[in-house]
Amino acid sequence: MRTDTGQIVHLADYRPTDFVLERVDLTFELDPAATRIETRLIFHRRDGVDFGQALVLDGDELTLAELRLDQNELPAGQFDVTPESLTIRGLPESVPFEVTIITIINPEANTQLMGLYRTNGVYCTQCEAEGFRRITYFPDRPDVLAPYTITIIADKAANPVLLSNGNFLGGGNYDEGRHFAAWFDPFPKPSYLFALVAGDLGVVEDTFTTMSEREVTLKIYVEHGKEARAAYAMDALKRSMKWDEERFGREYDLDIFMIVAVSDFNMGAMENKGLNVFNDKYVLADPETATDQDYANIEAIIAHEYFHNWTGNRITCRDWFQLCLKEGLTVYRDHEFSADMRSRAVKRIAEVRHLKAEQFPEDAGPLAHPVRPTSYREINNFYTTTVYEKGSEVTRMIATLLGRDTFKAGMDLYFERHDGEAATVEDFVACFAEVSGRDLTQFSRWYHQAGTPMVTASGAYDAASQSFTLSLEQMVPATPGQSVKEPMHIPLSFALILDNGSIAEPASVSGGEVSGDVLHLTERKQDFTFTGIAARPVLSLNRSFSAPINLDFKQAPADLAHIARHDSDLFARWQALTDLALPNLIQAARDAREGRAISCDDALVTALLEAAADETLEPAFRAQALALPSESDIARELGGNNDPDAIHAGRQGIIALIAKAGSSVFETLFATMARNGAFTPDAAGAGRRALRNSALSYLAYAEGGAQRAADAFASSDNMTDMTQALTVLAHRFPDDALTHEALDTFLQRFSDNALVLDKWFTIQATIPGDAALARIKALMDHPQFVGTNPNRVRSLIGSFAFSNPTGFNRADGEGYRFLAQQILAIDPRNPQLAARILTSMRSWRSLESLRADLARSALVEIQRSPKLSADVGDIVERMLKG
Ligand code: B3K
Ligand code: ZN
């Protein structure tokens, strides 16, 4: 394990390298325990750099076997080497020179899954962010770009497939049953985009003809026997390639594009040039084994990694502080793709739910950081929802401010100006400022100021002057290291909805800039006055979630119901339903805590059931309308002193009331939303299943609920219906014999399918209540629990910590202690996985004081461990600070 040096990297210290890397030549002789890598690097000194300057290369747990400078062995005095660095002195003054390095590494022993490792007999790499330095000594930073030539030599029987980045140069047989393959990637790239895969894999092949009529070979490699399950991924890839041409004018550039699915992977997928490596969870799908959510994820992640070819690979990041330049932008691109493939409104609702569930808590807690941070201790810990999802929201706001065409022009300029470069956030923003003529200085604060802005709104109608005044005030909360904040430029989409549901067209607006249906809040306090409004309108604000803010706007239930019924923006209708529900859920949590009976406003019940039954609305939307804010949504709204048991009990009480009032609606939906044809994984089919399963979840509150869920489970013919029914059964009736029976059936049926078994573990890990911990512990002893497989660890321990609020936050603190022990057990093997799961405690400070104290003790226990990785050390330190 890497030793924790505790060193902090600062953006302000950025300097270009002293030496320019011209070419990289790598030869791998693969062996499970002793892979030999010969690295040849051609450098020249950058203009203006002192002649005496030494070349310093990065390493991580490396052993140097040989070192040559221009083919000559170096005398001991001319270099220094440690596992972490290689320093070479006495370099030629004005001509390019060649450094040859030989390292020997052990892929089999690489449990961190960074660098070159083995998974199920397959060699594979993960180099982002700093994994390449675990393969060879190298200037391992994203602003060092070069073309790579790769030769792979390996045993032919065990590794018939030998892959790397770029185009295939050739291959052939070698001595002793070995063979080789050579690849050349002409596009200069940083080392984090390097990839190598070797092993015995099955393949699915197809082609794509680009807009300039070039034929590109497409290959998806999977374990033998799983080829048929890659068909949907291939389809998603071709749709992504087409979409990027049509929407952004981006054409693919190599002769071949490959995807490899592996079963041990720390994250979702990786955009290595021409050779994407994927967690097999985001490649493999068929109706029998994949849920609709799996299909949607595959589509989105295939697209995301493919889109990186331009936003990330052709234009990369100058340094890791610029991570959002490729990640936020690429998430925005994949969101837009999915919105075009599916229902835009439903997609937006899902995005906002995710943003609020994951990014808002991060931004409100001890791990808050700006979209473009200025310092880090462990870069792996900055692949966050703030960089990704808030980064995407910031890009979306640029598109909102500029309008679609000008935004496109800015993207075109960015691609043209920075192709082949390592760029910065400033470079990106400058392109949009230039094409629009807009000053984006204030807007750029979105990159630099952490924390979710709070906007307080109030509206007043004056009948005499037929005017409506909207008073806005913004506040950005203090976050770690940033106590004082400046006002932001916040684009707020709005509508003034009249009694008959139509949208008022104001005669004039004063008080600030308004473009189309977007008003620009730029001051701390700002009043906008709209004239020519004949009658009191209902204001719908932040439609489509045009800005990632918290909105404090006390609207009467009748006004919210009016929006929920009439807004032409479906997202706003959903938001209004949520806003109607939240006060009820909060009150219910208080009532549950105090032991009072739980009640619910009629306005909420009526509005929900009306939306659910409205056949003019698409089923997927109606399902979203029925999905009440989650327990963590309620906790976030409460903001502090949270009691997860009370929140859970209150929410359950409200659901029971809605279930009772709406039983006939739910019966009808359950019957009418049944499928009447062949299964299709598309958005329309998924929407019907979502609505039917939502109805089932309410029906389970009625008499005979367990039997009903068990019947739905037994009659299901696809993984979505099956897991939904099993979840309802297990979560509502954990001790019922029907539940045990169904869980057993599921286990027997899918015992040889790891991805489906992950679902079996997750469903049980998220059963609410105090008994959860004992259940988790028992499941850890299950023969199918594989502690070295990240998907399996996340499905059990991750799901427990992130998605089981009552089980994890047991009042006696045993959930936290358990997590601490698990983190300490995972950390020596896989620090990235440990650190990621530990972030589940990011909101510990908003718990009620007894739980908060126990959570703190567990964190302190982790911190006291003598041998923490940099990854876990950094998270735990930031979580405890202040
Ligand atoms: N760029 C990778 C993430 C790498 C994470 C390294 N710790 C996947 C993606 O965002 O597309
Ligand atoms: Zn990405």
Q: Is residue 206 part of a domain?
A: no
Q: Is 423 helix (H, G, I), strand (E, B) or coil?
A: strand
Task: Report which protein residue has its CA nearest ligand 1's atom 2.
Answer: 270
**Unique residue bearing structure tokens 């390298």:** 17
How many A from CA of 270 to the centre of ligand 1? 5
| Prediction pTM value | 0.98
Question: What ligand has the least distance to the C-alpha of 833?
Answer: 1
Range of the domain at 531: 454-546
Q: Is residue 504 part of a domain?
A: yes
Instruction: Read off the pLDDT of each residue in 309-316 and give the average, rounded to a whole number.
Output: 99
How many A from CA of 128 to the centre of ligand 2? 11
> Residues with beta carbon inside 6 Å of ligand 1?
128-129, 267, 269-271, 304-305, 308, 327, 380, 383
| Domain CATH number, residue 458 | 2.60.40.1840
Q: Which residues are catalytic?
A: 305
Question: What ligand has the least distance to the C-alpha of 132?
Answer: 1
Name the band, by pLDDT with cuts 50, 70 and 90, for residue 410: very high
Q: Is residue 757 part of a domain?
A: yes
- Rounded Cα distance between 396 and 329, Å, is 9
Same domain membership, residue 443 and residue 471: no
Q: Is the pLDDT of residue 3 over 90?
A: no
Same domain membership, residue 196 and residue 85: yes
How many A from CA of 855 to the centre of ligand 1? 30
Task: Report which protein residue has its CA nearest ligand 1's atom 4.
Answer: 128
Same domain membership, residue 476 and residue 407: no
Mutate to test the pocket of ligand 1, among 271, 297, 833 (most ligand atoms within 8 A of CB): 271
Task: Report which protein residue has its CA nearest ligand 1's atom 9.
Answer: 270
Q: Atom of ligand 1 at shortest distance to CA of 832?
A: 7
Mutate to test the pocket of ligand 1, among 126, 282, 302, 327 (most ligand atoms within 8 A of CB): 327
Q: Which residues surround ligand 2, an ion (CB under 5 A)?
A: 327, 330
How many A from CA of 386 to the centre of ligand 2? 13
Give the end-to-end CA distance of the chain in Å, rounded to a whole number: 29
Q: Atom of ligand 1 at shortest distance to CA of 268?
A: 8
Same domain membership, residue 458 and residue 444: no
Same domain membership, residue 465 and residue 403: no
Task: Report which protein residue has its CA nearest ligand 1's atom 5.
Answer: 128
| Domain CATH number, residue 141 | 2.60.40.1730
Q: Is 576 helix (H, G, I), strand (E, B) or coil?
A: helix
Tens digit of each residue's pLDDT (9 = 90 or more) over 574-613: 999 999 999 999 999 999 999 999 999 999 999 999 999 9
pLDDT at 5: 57
Q: Is 21 helix (H, G, I), strand (E, B) or coil?
A: strand
Q: Is residue 661 part of a domain?
A: no
Phi, psi of 486 (to 5 degrees): -100, 155
How many A from CA of 189 to the centre of ligand 1? 16
Mutate to test the pocket of ligand 1, among 189, 383, 388 (most ligand atoms within 8 A of CB): 383
Q: Atom of ligand 1 at shortest distance to CA of 304?
A: 11
Percent of the chain residues past pLDDT 90, beyond the cut: 99
Tens digit of each residue's pLDDT (9 = 90 or more) over 695-705: 999 999 999 99
Same domain membership, residue 164 and residue 43: yes
Same domain membership, residue 464 and residue 399: no
Burial of 598 (0-12, 13-18, 19+ CB in 10 A): buried
Q: Which of 171, 200, 229 is at the close of a domain? A: 200
Contact criterion met (CB below 8 Å) for 795 and 759 = yes
Name the band, by pLDDT with cuts 50, 70 and 90, for residue 235: very high
| Mean pLDDT for the chain overall | 97
Compute the half-sphere exposure of residue 21: CA atoms within 13 Å on the CB side of its CA.
27
**Unique residue bearing structure tokens 């070039």:** 214
Tens digit of each residue's pLDDT (9 = 90 or more) over 49-104: 999 999 999 999 999 999 999 999 999 999 999 999 999 999 998 899 999 999 99
Question: What ligand has the least distance to the C-alpha of 330?
Answer: 2
Q: Is residue 739 part of a domain?
A: no
Task: Report which protein residue has its CA nearest ligand 1's atom 10.
Answer: 327
Q: Is residue 634 part of a domain?
A: no
Q: Is the pLDDT of residue 639 over 90?
A: no
Q: Is residue 881 part of a domain?
A: yes
Same domain membership, residue 527 and residue 433: no
pLDDT at 127: 98
| Domain CATH number, residue 364 | 1.10.390.10
Same domain membership, residue 507 and residue 430: no
Q: Which of 546, 572, 596 is at the close of a domain? A: 546
Name the band, by pLDDT with cuts 50, 70 and 90, for residue 658: very high
Same domain membership, residue 163 and residue 99: yes
How many A from CA of 269 to the centre of ligand 1? 7
Same domain membership, residue 95 and residue 170: yes
Question: What ligand has the least distance to the C-alpha of 271?
Answer: 1
- Rounded Cα distance between 628 and 658, Å, is 10
| Domain CATH number, residue 819 | 1.25.50.10
Q: Which of 400, 426, 448 is at the close of a domain? A: 448
How many A from CA of 306 to the centre of ligand 2? 9
Task: Report which protein residue has its CA nearest ligand 1's atom 8.
Answer: 270
Q: Which of 41, 181, 162 is nearest to 101 (CA)?
A: 41
Q: Atom of ligand 1 at shortest distance to CA of 129?
A: 6
Same domain membership, residue 404 and residue 383: yes
Mutate to test the pocket of ligand 1, among 2, 124, 128 (most ligand atoms within 8 A of CB): 128
Total structural domains within the chain:
4
Name the band, by pLDDT with cuts 50, 70 and 90, for residue 502: very high
Q: Is residue 558 part of a domain?
A: no
pLDDT at 676: 85
